[in-house]
Amino acid sequence: MYKGKFLSAVITAAGSGTRMGSSINKPYLEVGGKKILELSIETVTSIKEFDEIILVAREEDFPLASEILSLFRDPRIKMVAGGKSREESTYKGLCALNPDSDLVLSHDGVRPFASRGLFLRVLEEIMTYKAAIAATKSKDTVKVVNEAGEVDFTPNRDFVYNIQTPQAFDTRLIKKLYQNYFKSEAKITDDSQLFEFFDRKEPVKVVEGEYSNIKITTAEDIIFAKAYIRGEK
């Protein structure tokens, strides 16, 4: 329980990882002697306030995922099969939650360096807001271009953020917004975007994230991850 509310976590690790160019799906690649997904689960399970933890994985990866889960032997963890898209996989995780769930935190299984402190800062904000997300200020100037690849305008960098996970939500509301989403033609790239399409009256709170909280997507990210772990040690 978190401040009297039933707290759930959904860890998504059901992507295909085609951009990595590896025969092994990216959550199961090793960095610093541990699997990427293992590092993510390690942080989530360290937070005792979670009443349940749902791991969403590709069905063909169940043996690899089960091997990792055997290291933790945490009775709060349940594994479910993902869908054809990131959104379907997240929704499958939401559907697997206990009916008593009040709050849910979602996290990408291939963001292994999100600190425990970041999770707790996001959870703190969900007591005030219906949605809270981790994000970092953009270090670069961002240009918005048109279909011809020509610059349209430059947004003020002070208000441009790179969105991360963890993200936390009111459980019933995020499930309802996903149901609306699947009936629409909208396309989202993160869960909090559902509020932009379907519930503008509820503000999404941005929590200062961590530049080290990278999403491991390409081979170059593996190089960074190994260097980061060496630096931590």
Q: Give the pLDDT score at 196.
A: 97
Long-range CB contact pairs, 208-211, < 8 A, 24+:
208/121, 208/134, 208/135, 208/136, 209/118, 209/134, 209/135, 209/136, 209/162, 209/164, 210/113, 210/114, 210/115, 210/118, 210/134, 210/136, 210/164, 211/136, 211/139
Give the global pTM.
0.94
DSSP run (H or E) holding 28: none
HSE-CB at 113 with a 13 A cutoff on CA atoms is 21
Mean pLDDT of 20-32: 83
Query: 231 pLDDT band (50/70/90 cuts)?
Result: confident
- pLDDT tens digits for range 43-95: 999 999 999 999 999 999 999 999 999 999 999 999 999 999 999 999 999 99
For β-strands 30-31 and 7-13, DSSP reports them as unpaired
Contact 144, 138 (CB under 8 A): no
Of the pLDDT bands very low, low, confident and very high (cuts 50, 70, 90), residue 215 is very high
Percent of the chain scored above 70 by pLDDT? Answer: 96
User: Nearest Cα to 192, choosing from 176, 174, 217?
Assistant: 174
Helix (H) or strand (E) holding 69, with range, is helix 62-72
Tell me how far apart the terminal alpha carbons of the chain are, to the nearest angstrom. Answer: 33
Confidence check: pLDDT of 21 > 70? no
Q: What is the pLDDT of residue 2?
A: 97
